[in-house]
């Protein structure tokens, strides 16, 4: 029996797959302890999983962070605002919190961390314990052989990709040069701890030389030549709660049974805090198409003028509602994208920031979706794209085919097998 610390910062898209892994590790007899944002304390304790708080509590679900969501979701300045404005000023607090948990007593046998936990590599080196990084989306590898879509210039990526890895590599080097100072607080802390100068903490330094878990399906990306050599693509470790904790609302069950499969509109767990006119325009788009619709609106008020063919609910487990959808409209977060893929349904993606534009582009390349920009999202434009999807039998067939492939993967077991091998 080993003591394993699972550390992460971010949204539910970062936490949920780690919960799936943690529950399976516990089932296999290991002692599991989460070190993550205070906002998630109740969720983890309800699952009888060990919990220790990790600063900063920078989750979108934290009400104190609500005023920052719009800034962080900005495609041009959002990443810098998150790293330099939120995470790096709290770097030493993050280090202290995680060091206290990992060093014990009784001490950790293995540390598994998300890529935003920048002190984790330093602690693993200092304590000389094995550690693994988990990566939720292909974009984080910044491969010249599989150039990701960068939020500030989404259209440019397609042009550069077609020019080959040499040009793609040059573009990535330019990006890294432009952001070279973002990780300076980590370099300063390394020096104070007497650790050797490491790789760029924002890019290469986050990858463990022991094990990197790419916790997404191979249908999204296969390992590339310039990925870290210790990487394994596991498949998605799915988790979105249990039916007992989040039963299907009775009004939704009656709605679903009363007619054709509806359009489903959602903005995940983060973008839903900055929806703009998404829900009102989406309701109108469904009316233009004369289609039934389900709006998952979070804490937002329902849009005005809903008809009996459109229902608005705060939350429904994606694993419950997505398989019963005709088409899914979402923001492109990796958790939402994975659930939509598993459901085998076509999708229309309206990305905000971070990995979302890249995930959206991958859905188009897979032949299972279309992209609509947030700036141009309107009832008429959304209806146009949705009608194209609904009238495209090839897209429906491809989505179903990929859904079966994703359903056949067991990302949780594969990830846990790799971690147990690392422990041995």
Question: pLDDT per residue over 392-420, tens digit each?
Answer: 999 999 999 999 999 999 999 999 999 99
**pLDDT above 80: residue 70:** yes
All residues at 6 or more sequence positions from 359 whose CB lies less than 8 Å from its CB, including other chains:
137, 139, 220, 332, 333, 334, 337, 349, 351
**Segment 112-128 mean pLDDT:** 97
CA-based nearest residue to 341, from 291, 418, 277, 405: 405
The pTM for the full model equals: 0.96
**Segment 18-28 mean pLDDT:** 98
Summarize pLDDT for 261-292 with one digit per residue, the tens: 999 999 999 999 999 999 999 999 999 999 99
Summarize pLDDT for 308-351 with one digit per residue, the tens: 999 999 999 999 999 999 999 999 999 999 999 999 999 999 99
CA-based nearest residue to 346, from 394, 310, 313: 394
Integer Cα distance of 151 and 359 in angstroms: 11
Do 271 and 298 touch, CB atoms closer than 8 A? no
Q: Decide whether 3-236+410-423 matches 250-407 in CATH topology.
A: yes
**Segment 59-67 mean pLDDT:** 79
Beta strands in 72-145, from DSSP E residues, in sequence order: 110-114, 131-135
**Strands of the sheet with 293-296, listed across from one edge:** 310-313, 293-296, 263-266, 327-330, 347-349, 369-371
Confidence at residue 73, expressed as pLDDT on a 0 to 100 scale: 93
CA-based nearest residue to 352, from 15, 60, 146, 98: 60
**Fold exhibited by the domain 250-407:** Rossmann fold (3.40.50)
Helical residues (DSSP H) of 132-259, grouped into ranges: 154-161, 165-178, 184-192, 250-257
Higher pLDDT among residues 51 and 156, named by residue: 51
Q: Where are the domains of the chain?
A: 3-236+410-423, 250-407
Q: Going by DSSP bridges, is the β-strand pair 347-349/3-7 parallel, antiparallel, or unpaired? A: unpaired
**Segment 14-38 mean pLDDT:** 97
Q: Which residue has the tokens 């050797």?
A: 196
CA-based nearest residue to 294, from 269, 315, 273: 315
CATH architecture of structural domain 3-236+410-423:
3-Layer(aba) Sandwich (3.40)
């Amino acid at each position: 029996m080993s003591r394993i610390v699972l550390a992460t910062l971010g949204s539910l898209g970062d936490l949920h797959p780690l919960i799936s892994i943690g529950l399976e590790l516990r089932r296999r007899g290991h002692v599991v302890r989460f070190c993550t944002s205070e906002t998630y304390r109740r969720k983890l304790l309800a699952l009888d999983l060990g919990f220790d708080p990790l600063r900063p509590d920078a989750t979108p679900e934290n009400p104190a962070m609500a005023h920052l969501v719009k800034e962080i979701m900005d495609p041009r300045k959002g990443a810098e605002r998150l790293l330099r404005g939120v995470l790096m000023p709290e770097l030493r607090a993050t280090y202290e919190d995680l060091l206290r948990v990992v060093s014990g007593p009784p001490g950790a046998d293995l540390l598994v961390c998300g890529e935003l936990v920048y002190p984790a590599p330093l602690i693993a080196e200092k304590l000389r314990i094995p550690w693994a990084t988990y990566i939720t989306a292909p974009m984080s590898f910044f491969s010249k052989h599989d150039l990701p879509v960068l939020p500030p210039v989404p259209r440019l990526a397609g042009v550069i990709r077609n020019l080959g890895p040499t040009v793609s590599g040059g573009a990535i080097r330019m990006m890294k040069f432009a952001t070279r100072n973002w990780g300076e607080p980590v370099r300063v802390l390394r020096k104070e701890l007497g650790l050797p100068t490491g790789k760029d903490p924002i890019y290469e330094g986050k990858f463990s030389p022991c094990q990197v878990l790419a916790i997404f399906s191979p249908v999204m990306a296969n390992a590339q030549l310039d990925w870290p050599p210790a990487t394994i693509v596991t498949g998605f470790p799915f988790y979105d709660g249990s039916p007992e904790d989040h039963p299907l609302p009775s009004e939704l069950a009656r709605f679903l049974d009363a007619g054709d499969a509806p359009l489903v509109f959602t903005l995940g767990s983060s973008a839903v805090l900055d929806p703009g006119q998404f829900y009102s325009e989406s309701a109108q788009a469904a009316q233009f198409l004369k289609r039934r619709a389900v709006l998952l609106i979070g804490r937002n008020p329902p849009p005005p003028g809903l008809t009996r063919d459109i229902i608005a609910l705060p939350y429904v487990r994606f694993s419950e509602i997505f398989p019963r959808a005709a088409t899914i409209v979402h923001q492109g977060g990796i958790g939402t994208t994975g659930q939509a893929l598993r459901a085998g349904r076509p999708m229309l993606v309206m990305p905000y920031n971070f990995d979302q534009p890249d995930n959206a582009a991958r859905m188009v390349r897979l032949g299972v979706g279309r992209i609509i920009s947030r700036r141009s999202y309107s009832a008429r434009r959304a209806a146009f794209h949705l009608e194209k999807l609904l009238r495209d039998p090839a897209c429906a067939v491809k989505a179903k085919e990929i859904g079966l492939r994703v359903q056949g993967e067991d990302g949780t077991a594969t990830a846990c097998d790799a971690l147990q091998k690392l422990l041995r």
